[in-house]
Amino acid sequence: MSFENSKDITRRQCLFNMGAGLTGIAMNAMLARESQAEETEWKPPVGLPHATPKAKNVIWLFMNGGVSHMESFDPKPMLSKYAGMTIAESPFKDAQDPKRLAIERLRVPDANGLQRNELYPLQVGFKQYGQSGIEVSDWFPHIGQQVDKLAVVRSMWTTDSNHGAQAQFHSGRHMNDGAFPTLGAWVNYGLGTLNENLPQFVSIGSRPQSNRRDGHYLGPAYDAVPLRTDPENPLNFGKAERPFLHEAQSIGMDLIHQLNEHRGEQYPDDPALMARIKSYELAFRMQQSVPDVMDFSKESAATHALYGLDKKPCQTFGRQLLAARRLVERGVRFIQIQHGGETASGAWDAHGKLKDNHTKNSLAVDQPVAGLLQDLEQRGMLDETLVVFATEFGRTPGSQGADGRDHHIFGFSVWMAGGGLKRGVVHGATDEIGFHAVENRHYVTDIHATILKQLGLDSRKLEIPGRKRLNIDHGKAIEDIIA
């Protein structure tokens, strides 16, 4: 194959190209045909949904590390009943049938992500909440009170039992496949903005190493813009540190814009340049809009209390969720909030001391999340805002060490609320020990498809030339939970 990118071709080069070209001829012809077929049909998205949307905004809450599904939204009393017995000795031994374990794709040769045989009892109680009577563990009493707003999916599965599954939950692909655009990036790419003064895709909270970016092949313009929720210092370099008249600054911004656009003619299709032009336009306006979003002083004391801002353990997450509601009010499309992403594996990764770990983490998120749901409902925003509560995988029914659970990919729970979904429903189920998703099984991209459907987007219409996606990348919307 020859790739021409220099004006002068030497004799040697010419001969080389001829030789190398022979093997490439057939392939070239093949690829050219393919690219022609795509060229005639493909147009970039115009920012309008493909179907009438039911939801306008998404608040994506991601619990890094892997929340125990049995000790959150899918309680399994059989674990306590048969505690101490190995799975092979228990009535549930067919869970370990090698054929049923075959979906696991990758085993990292370390101490984690292994089969854990001895059943480990539930570390917390649970009860039924609301009219729906959905069972929720005692670690999430506030969310339990809001259970009639939730659509709980108890039959999730994924393929990789290491924390690369975090990125996998966002993009549908494990990092070993390469880096692929995340759901938020697709939404950002597919839909127009509702507020020119703020980024339409925002990320709050620390993001673990494998999951720092979003746009990937769509380009850095579709990455989430990270925002901080410190009202004292919402934005570094938020105003000029030396006297600089606004008028003079905006003349300069115009010049920068013109010069960069001009460079874009010499360097077309440079995604970084396009992203930089966009980032300058946004930065100029964010100087005003971001401090305004992060100024919570005008929120009532009742609102502060609702999100738990008066309580130390949940203050940080509470602030982040209140910021999310304020961003939704201002038209930000997709707000991605990462909990516990400060460490490489994630805060919920309870290989040991599960009880301490989940007690502490649930205390940080439970009240703020419930507060967010109530607040959105009170303001009439829950119908058009889709809230997602997700994690990369569940945890093993068996014990790891004395008091922990390992990564578990065969069955785990995720819930969604609002955005035109059914309320107070459970969809899918795991077996009696929470090992396998057995009913209405869903891979992570089914969550993506459901959200895109509510936003009125069709992921197949967003595909770009040269980037064929597989069926599993698109997923299937979970129709059963759509109202």
Residue 94: phi and psi, rounded to 5, are: -70, -10
Question: Given the complex with another protein, which of 219 and 398 has the nearer CB atom?
Answer: 219
In whole angstroms, what is the distance from residue 450 CA to residue 171 CA?
14
Q: How many residues does the chain have?
A: 483
Site for another protein in 212-231 (CB under 8 A): 212-213, 217, 220-221, 223, 225-226
For the bound state, the minimum distance from the C-beta of residue 286 to another protein, rounded and expressed in Å, comes to 5
Question: Given the complex with another protein, which of 254 and 310 has the nearer CB atom?
Answer: 254
Q: Which stretch binds another protein (CB under 8 A): 182-190, 304-312, 402-410, 459-467?
A: 459-467
Question: Given the complex with another protein, which of 197 and 303 has the nearer CB atom?
Answer: 197
Which neighbouring-strand residues pair with 151? 416, 425
Residue 150 within binding range of another protein, rule CB under 8 A: no
Query: Hey, what's the torsion of the CAs at 107, 109, 113, 114, to 10 degrees?
Result: 100
* Tokens at 99, concatenated: 């054929």
Distances (CA, A) of 134 to 73, 146, 446: 8, 10, 22
Distances (CA, A) of 48 to 25, 202, 402: 41, 20, 54
**293-313 b/e with 16+ CB inside 10 Å = b?**
bbebeebeeebbebbbbeeeb
154, 142, 295: which is closest to 232 by C-alpha? 295
Q: List the one residue from 11, 241, 298, 402 that touches another protein (CB under 8 A).
A: 241
Residue 42 within binding range of another protein, rule CB under 8 A: no
CB atoms within 10 A of CB 187: 25
3-state class (DSSP) for residue 56: coil
Q: List the one residue from 97, 254, 295, 439 that touches another protein (CB under 8 A).
A: 254
Q: List the one residue from 256, 363, 425, 438 that touches another protein (CB under 8 A).
A: 256
Question: Given the complex with another protein, which of 270 and 439 has the nearer CB atom?
Answer: 270
Site for another protein in 173-202 (CB under 8 A): 199
Amino acid at 57: N
Residue 283 within binding range of another protein, rule CB under 8 A: yes
Q: Which residue has 């992570």 as its token pair?
A: 444
Q: List the one residue from 242, 301, 302, 471 that touches another protein (CB under 8 A).
A: 242
For the bound state, the minimum distance from the C-beta of residue 206 to another protein, rounded and expressed in Å, comes to 11
Q: Which stretch binds another protein (CB under 8 A): 87-95, 123-131, 233-241, 292-300?
A: 233-241
339, 365, 454, 483: which is closest to 57 by C-alpha? 454
Give me the 333-372 binding string for another protein, x by CB under 8 A, dash otherwise: -----------x----------------------------
Question: Given the complex with another protein, which of 31 and 483 has the nearer CB atom?
Answer: 31
* Tokens at 285, concatenated: 């306006």
Q: List the one residue from 269, 297, 470, 471 that touches another protein (CB under 8 A).
A: 269
Distances (CA, A) of 467 to 17, 34, 103, 213: 27, 12, 25, 18
Q: Which stretch binds another protein (CB under 8 A): 88-96, 104-112, 211-219, 304-312?
A: 211-219
Q: List the one residue from 70, 273, 369, 370 that touches another protein (CB under 8 A).
A: 273
Q: List the one residue from 97, 196, 270, 480 that touches another protein (CB under 8 A).
A: 270
Question: Given the complex with another protein, which of 28 and 128 has the nearer CB atom?
Answer: 28
In whole angstroms, what is the distance from residue 170 CA to residue 338 CA?
11
Q: What residues contact 470, with CB distance under 8 A and at least 6 apart?
A: none
Question: Given the complex with another protein, which of 108 and 425 has the nearer CB atom?
Answer: 108
Residue 4 within binding range of another protein, rule CB under 8 A: yes
Residue 260 within binding range of another protein, rule CB under 8 A: yes
Burial (CB < 10 A; 0-12, 13-18, 19+), residue 157, is buried
Residue 6 within binding range of another protein, rule CB under 8 A: yes
Residue 40 within binding range of another protein, rule CB under 8 A: no
Q: List the one residue from 15, 32, 51, 88 that touches another protein (CB under 8 A).
A: 32
For the bound state, the minimum distance from the C-beta of residue 360 to another protein, rounded and expressed in Å, comes to 20
3-state class (DSSP) for residue 236: coil
Q: What residues contact 208, with CB distance under 8 A and at least 6 apart?
A: 64, 163, 166, 338, 341, 343, 344, 345, 346
Interface residues toward another protein, by CB under 8 A:
1, 3-6, 13, 28, 31-32, 35, 39, 199, 209, 212-213, 217, 220-221, 223, 225-226, 235-242, 244-245, 247-249, 251-256, 258-260, 262-263, 266-270, 272-273, 275-277, 279-280, 282-284, 286-287, 344, 465-467
